[in-house]
Structure 1
Amino acid sequence: MAIAVAVIALAMGSVLFFFFSPWYLTPLASNWGTIDDTITITLWVTGAVFLAVNLFLAYVVVRYRFNRRRRSQYDPENKRLELWLTGLTTLGIAGLLAPGLLVWGSFVSPPEDAHEVEVVGQQWHWSFRFPGEDGRFGTVHNRLIDEHNPFGMADDPAGQDDILITTPHLVLPVDRPVKMVLRSKDVLHNFKVANFRAKMDMVPGQTSYFWFTPTVLGEYQIVCAQLCGIAHFAMRGRIEVVEQEAFDAWLSERTTHAELAQLSPGDPEAGSEFYASCAACHGPEGQGNQALNAPKIAGLDPWYLERQLGLFRSGARGSHEDDTHGQQMRPFATMLPDRQAIADVAAYIGSLPDQPVQASLAGGDPERGARRYRTCANCHGEQGQGIRATNGPRLAGLSDWYLERQLQNFRQGVRGRHREDPYGNQMVEMAQVLVDDRAVSDVVAYIMTLPQPRVEMAAANPGGVEE
């Protein structure tokens, strides 16, 4: 009897928890109310079966409890019972599948007036592409992808006016249907926006698609709903739904493929003039100065330097109230007038000799740090050389005091929490695996044992940068 009472209590408690729980679907912000209806039907069908099975179990426990004088009856062929079970199961399965099949048919049938956006997934980042004025996407292929052509754009006239969005921030107009074309650069991903009730797998070598109409102004989180690697949980982005006028203005400010191709590379000679103000803290050869809290920057790849200088210049880095050293850096970054100046000074720093650094901190255990570093190696490389494809900067050859300070800043959210610093946001999440100060000291101690590239190797290997 006690078991029967427990089964009934658990079943009824589960039902009550469902109805009174504060956790449910996120507020709907698209046209897919039919998906919510399908979910509701599924919950009612499965809930009814759940209650029926558990109440029947409780009845059986009581009705057929142990009795020495009772003997069981062997009845292997009960056609009446089989017909009932088959019929009820058929109705239940039909109730589960039929609404979903109808909604799916509509989900992959975009209206003719829907505009298009391509979503590109990679470990662990989102990027986007809009067709240009011709309304057609240019040809792309994964084999063409490199650090200078991250979308894999082919030599196709239709792609010259394609608008490329390299940051995980997408803006869409409200009340206008959009077809999302999905592709992956590397492994399986899944593009999901819970408020839109929209998700779809992204398979390497294939394209998939779905459509929806944003109906509520606001900002919504993009997540990857397919386990895609060590930083899967940090693969996030955002969609901002705005009025049509605001969308048009935002899109007009984005850069086309042709415009990106025409950008001039950094000029080290021109950058040397801008570096004059940097040398006061970082040294004439970028060797750094701990007394001035200026890290070594020689040996860092220009792509990473450009990104960090851009973040300082825009206020996405160095604006946190507890980041006193970052606040000191911001005024110097704002002295660089435009993107070309940033590229020039980054190119000049990339030409400076990469001298080895000596450990200045004590207390860390490199052996323990080696185990902790396995997670870091997925983005930064086993030798700390950095991996451009994962946007993981070089770590080997940097000052230990600077590495330790930045890891602590990431752990505490002092660095990386700004909404315009997507890679910093990922690093904040990943840094949480370092559970305490000792873990930080250990992993820094291990990084200091990694081989430091020689000057000639630094010029030949464009893969790495700092943390």
Structure 2
Amino acid sequence: MPIAIAIALLVLGSIIFHLVSPWWKTPIASNWGSIDTALDVTLWICAVAFIVLNLFMAYALWKYRHKPGNRAHYEPENASLEKRLTFWTAIGIAGMLAPGLIAWSQYVNVPKDAAVVEATGQQWQWSFRFPGPDGVLGTASVKHITPDNSLGINPRDPFGRDDVVVETNELHLPVGKPVKVVLRSKDVLHDFYVPQFRAKMDLVPGIVTYFWMTPTKAGTYEILCAELCGVGHHEMRGTVVVEPQQAFDQWLGEQVTFGEIMASASPSSISAILASADSCTTPTRGRLD
């Protein structure tokens, strides 16, 4: 009996805690309302299962508690009950999976008019790259990385000379415009995550990952690394500023291009950059070796 009461109080306390909890989702600032919907569906299905199963267990403990003269009925198998439990469990799992699969299908199918920005992670900072007027990001590889070429842009690739390089933790994006976020890692596994965008994706060494989203609300949001990446993981933070197109264009015009970095580098640095390109095979466009 005390255990039945404790279980019922646990259910009641969980419901009250959820209703008065200060920890709610941050206001959404992107087009990914479908991800919120998938999370809400999962929450409600799990909540119903939690409440029903625990209250049933409390009821069973109360109803079938030991009484003098009562004998338990031994029933090792119940095919009908097992079929019903399997059916409703399958319905619940399908209900949780379907919204997520629909959202994922949209998440990785990038619109043709989406702009491109590359986010590169390393222990423990972010760097960014935008294509220049040609609209194409130059190829890149860790083999090209030098002190003056921190993103490993291929100096022999003409598409990379006009790429805009942002070597700070601050990223700017125009509001209301879809953008494909290409992700690379220079060392270990990282994860690009902006809670208000409902967008996150792993950065996997050796390959390129991506997602897309449309910022819908101007403001300043925090970029987090959502993958444990070493002792400085907690310090791997950045900022994304969502602003009108005119302000974004002005900010982008103030950044340096890879060609300008090459032009200002010392002769020895240029030689090292070019030597890195000559010593390895040029990777496929967009690939990180």
Same fold (TM over 0.5): yes
**Cα shift at 1:72:** 2.7
1:79 is aligned to 79
In 2: Cα distance, 1:12 partner to 1:260 partner: 62
2:275 is aligned to none
1:152 is aligned to 152
Report matched runs for 1:67-466 at 5 Å: 67-154=67-154, 155-265=156-266
Task: Give the secondary-structure state (helix, strand or coil) at the position aligned to 1:260.
Answer: helix
1:393-424 CA-to-partner distances (Å, cap 9, x unmatched) read: xxxxxxxxxxxxxxxxxxxxxxxxxxxxxxxx
1:146-176 CA-to-partner distances (Å, cap 9, x unmatched) read: 2221101112011000111000100000000
In 1: Cα distance, 2:71 partner to 2:201 partner: 55
In 2: Cα distance, 1:264 partner to 1:38 partner: 50
In 1: Cα distance, 2:196 partner to 2:260 partner: 34
**Cα shift at 1:99:** 0.5
Task: Give the secondary-structure state (helix, strand or coil) at the position aligned to 2:139.
Answer: coil
In 2: Cα distance, 1:72 partner to 1:23 partner: 45
In 2: Cα distance, 1:243 partner to 1:206 partner: 32
Task: Give the secondary-structure state (helix, strand or coil) at the position aligned to 2:256.
Answer: coil
In 1: Cα distance, 2:211 partner to 2:226 partner: 16
1:17-52 CA-to-partner distances (Å, cap 9, x unmatched) read: 112212100010011111111111111000001101
Q: Which amino acid aligns with 2:48?
A: A
In 1: Cα distance, 2:265 partner to 2:33 partner: 48
1:118-148 CA-to-partner distances (Å, cap 9, x unmatched) read: 0101010000000111111101011222222
Answer whether contact 2:148 2:265 (CA < 8 A) is retained.
no
In 1: Cα distance, 2:205 partner to 2:34 partner: 30
**Cα shift at 1:67:** 3.1
1:97-121 CA-to-partner distances (Å, cap 9, x unmatched) read: 0000000000011111100000101
Answer whether contact 2:193 2:223 (CA < 8 A) is retained.
yes
**Cα shift at 1:5:** 1.6
- Return the structure number with greater strand share: 2
Task: Give the secondary-structure state (helix, strand or coil) at the position aligned to 1:258.
Answer: helix
Task: Give the secondary-structure state (helix, strand or coil) at the position aligned to 1:94.
Answer: helix
Runs of 5+ unmatched residues, structure 2: 268-289
Q: Which structure would you say has the larger RCO, counting Cα contacts within 8 Å and 6 or more residues apart?
A: 2
2:18 is aligned to 18
**Percentage of pairs with the same residue:** 51
**Cα distance change of structure 1 residues 264 and 153 upon mapping to structure 2, 3 Å threshold:** closer
In 1: Cα distance, 2:226 partner to 2:158 partner: 35
Task: Give the secondary-structure state (helix, strand or coil) at the position aligned to 1:73.
Answer: coil
Moved more, 63-72 or 127-136: 63-72
In 2: Cα distance, 1:265 partner to 1:158 partner: 22
1:34 is aligned to 34
2:53 is aligned to 53
**Cα shift at 1:265:** 4.3
Q: Which amino acid aligns with 2:86?
A: T
In 2: Cα distance, 1:69 partner to 1:225 partner: 59
Q: Which amino acid aligns with 2:230?
A: G
| Aligned-pair Cα RMSD in Å | 1.3
In 2: Cα distance, 1:45 partner to 1:212 partner: 27
TM-score, normalized by length of structure 2? 0.90
1:290-331 CA-to-partner distances (Å, cap 9, x unmatched) read: xxxxxxxxxxxxxxxxxxxxxxxxxxxxxxxxxxxxxxxxxx
In 1: Cα distance, 2:76 partner to 2:102 partner: 39
**Cα shift at 1:61:** 1.3
Q: Which amino acid aligns with 2:176?
A: D
In 2: Cα distance, 1:120 partner to 1:68 partner: 71
Q: Number of aligned residue pairs: give it.
A: 266
Answer whether contact 2:197 2:215 (CA < 8 A) is retained.
yes
Q: Which amino acid aligns with 1:81?
A: L
- Return the structure number with greater helix share: 1
Runs of 5+ unmatched residues, structure 1: 267-467
**Cα shift at 1:264:** 4.6
Task: Give the secondary-structure state (helix, strand or coil) at the position aligned to 1:109.
Answer: coil
**Cα shift at 1:90:** 0.5
Task: Give the secondary-structure state (helix, strand or coil) at the position aligned to 1:167.
Answer: coil
In 1: Cα distance, 2:70 partner to 2:134 partner: 82
In 1: Cα distance, 2:208 partner to 2:72 partner: 59
**Cα shift at 1:66:** 2.1
1:184-208 CA-to-partner distances (Å, cap 9, x unmatched) read: 0111000000000000011000111
**Cα distance change of structure 1 residues 68 and 143 upon mapping to structure 2, 3 Å threshold:** farther
In 2: Cα distance, 1:189 partner to 1:237 partner: 13
Moved more, 43-52 or 5-14: 5-14
Task: Give the secondary-structure state (helix, strand or coil) at the position aligned to 1:60.
Answer: helix
In 1: Cα distance, 2:236 partner to 2:68 partner: 62
**Cα shift at 1:71:** 2.9
Answer whether contact 2:148 2:261 (CA < 8 A) is retained.
no
TM-score, normalized by length of structure 1? 0.56
